[in-house]
Structure 1
Amino acid sequence: MFCLSGLLSYIYPSDTANLTAALDTHNIPYRFLPNTKDIWVRDFMPVRTGSGKLVSFRYEPSYLKNDPDLRTDFRKDLAPQLGLPVTYSNINLDGGNVVFSPSGARVLISDRVFSENPEYPSAALMRELSELLEAEVLIIPSLKSDMTGHADGMARFLDDRTVLCNRPLSSCGFEQQVKRAVQDCGLDAVDFPFVPAGGVSAVGCYLNYLETERVVFLPVFGIEQDAEAETSARQLFSKEIVPVNIREIAQQGGCLNCISWEGPHA
């Protein structure tokens, strides 16, 4: 069961229709959550570990410091209606900054987690995250100019030893730094199409796909590079690739992974 914000269809009816039509076609159930303050459910919903354990982190990102009306409090706003068995943590961490490997044995998190939790010594924070997430925590750099600094727009696991990374634009740019960090963790890094849009826009961020057991829903944006992204995805994944145009949502800074959350029975 995939969960989406109840705000989604009101604010972005066309993009929402594109996504729900794709989910319906592949018989993937979904529901719209009431009482959400914004559409980015990945960030404020609990993180699910490889064993199925649900961990709810504190959702107080620095980029929403002056916008408390946009912060959904899972424990208060959603937990009562969902009735899920959840472990709560005081660590300040967005779900979009947690990228698991398929087995759940490894997890990528950007270094933004350190600045969001200044009260924690880095080593202690890493240990607690590893225990909570039941995984080896691997740190990759965050883009300083990116408001959220999330990992899910920079790197995604193809398998437990292979990570898809945004294709570097130069030999010394930020994308190359992320790729090198992944390799320094002992993992293989594979380039994936990427078109930087500038500003808050995530148009061109094909890595922010939604993956299910059988299907990869690939965000597309009505731009020339969509075709290359679809071709690359079909070459890399053994699953069916389904393009979903969500250009309007992407212009606000997120794509398919950002707006979706897998329930316990996904």
Structure 2
Amino acid sequence: MPVKTRSGKYVSFRYEPSYLANNPQLRTNFKIDIAPNFKVDNLIYTDINLDGGNVVFSPSKEKVIISDRVFSENPEYDKNTLLLELEKLLEASLIIIPSLKSDMTGHADGMVRFVDENTVVTNALLSPYGFETKVKKSLRNYGFNVIDFPYFYSKGDSAVGCYLNYLATEKSIFLPVFGVDTDNGAIKLAKNIFDKTIIPVNINEIAEYGGLLNCISWEFE
């Protein structure tokens, strides 16, 4: 679905992710499949291949975090050219973080979320030398304050355990929970971090397929 920028413009990226290479019937073309029956004002199209889940804006939308998966998804682009075009389209300063090769989507919204313009939450470290440490170091190099958010690993493509893939609205945080003991810690920390109402949502049935609350939502006005 199109991504909304700070000016109110919507950018529709090409949706041909490599993880659907063997399932092309699951791909959607917004211009052909959806736009004719769904009016979106101030909409532009680009041939850049990028999932909405790999676009994480700061509250002001002046900053945006994208994982380096965007490079392998767009091999026809020179890296610098791609970065400049993304900053132009998204109207934001671009922050690139590493992606986990074994993660199906490589989406940034499963690794980091903004609290404010200078503070982010990331998955708590599973190991001092693990992938989460690499992400945290990358964000600190950009000057961010980094808060560990509860996380536990699930096998395969399951997203069970990724609490930070919550849905944020103006007044509420819809927080995924999984019916386990660590839910309480995640809820408590979220209440301490965010000046919003925290609403726990059990989403195991969807999480088993690799998605959570931010994955299945879309910002539209």
| TM-score normalized by the length of structure 2 | 0.98
The runs of at least 4 aligned residues of structure 1 exceeding 4 Å deviation read none
- Give the drift of 1:53: 1.0
1:93 aligns with 2:50: yes
* 1:65 alignment counterpart: 21
How many residues align? The count is: 220
* 1:188 alignment counterpart: 145
1:42-191 counterparts in 2 under 5 A?
Answer: 45-85=1-41, 86-191=43-148
Contact 2:3–2:219 under 8 Å retained in 1: no
Q: CA RMSD in A?
A: 0.7
What SS does structure 2 have at the residue aligned with 1:75?
helix
Structure 1 CA distance for aligned equivalents of residues 20 and 67 of structure 2: 18
- Give the drift of 1:233: 0.3
* 2:160 alignment counterpart: 203
Contact 1:51–1:104 under 8 Å retained in 2: no
Structure 2 CA distance for aligned equivalents of residues 50 and 203 of structure 1: 31
What SS does structure 2 have at the residue aligned with 1:152?
helix
1:21-47 CA distances to partner (integer Å, 9 max, x unpaired)? xxxxxxxxxxxxxxxxxxxxxxxx001
Structure 1 CA distance for aligned equivalents of residues 32 and 152 of structure 2: 38
- Give the drift of 1:263: 1.1
Give the letter aligned to residue 56 of structure 2: V
- Structure 2 runs not aligned, ≥5 long: none
- Structure 1 runs not aligned, ≥5 long: 1-44
- Give the drift of 1:198: 2.0
1:32-47 counterparts in 2 under 5 A?
Answer: 45-47=1-3
Contact 1:208–1:258 under 8 Å retained in 2: yes
What SS does structure 1 have at the residue aligned with 2:110?
coil
Structure 2 CA distance for aligned equivalents of residues 199 and 65 of structure 1: 18
Structure 2 CA distance for aligned equivalents of residues 72 and 226 of structure 1: 34
Structure 1 CA distance for aligned equivalents of residues 68 and 157 of structure 2: 19
Give the letter aligned to residue 114 of structure 1: F
1:210-233 CA distances to partner (integer Å, 9 max, x unpaired)? 000000000011111111110110
- Give the drift of 1:73: 1.2
Structure 1 CA distance for aligned equivalents of residues 128 and 93 of structure 2: 28
- Give the drift of 1:132: 0.2
Structure 1 CA distance for aligned equivalents of residues 38 and 4 of structure 2: 15
Contact 1:206–1:218 under 8 Å retained in 2: yes
Give the fraction of aligned pairs with identical amino acids, expressed as a percent.
61
Give the letter aligned to residue 72 of structure 1: T
- Give the drift of 1:99: 0.1
Give the letter aligned to residue 110 of structure 2: G
Structure 2 CA distance for aligned equivalents of residues 83 and 162 of structure 1: 35
Give the letter aligned to residue 124 of structure 1: T
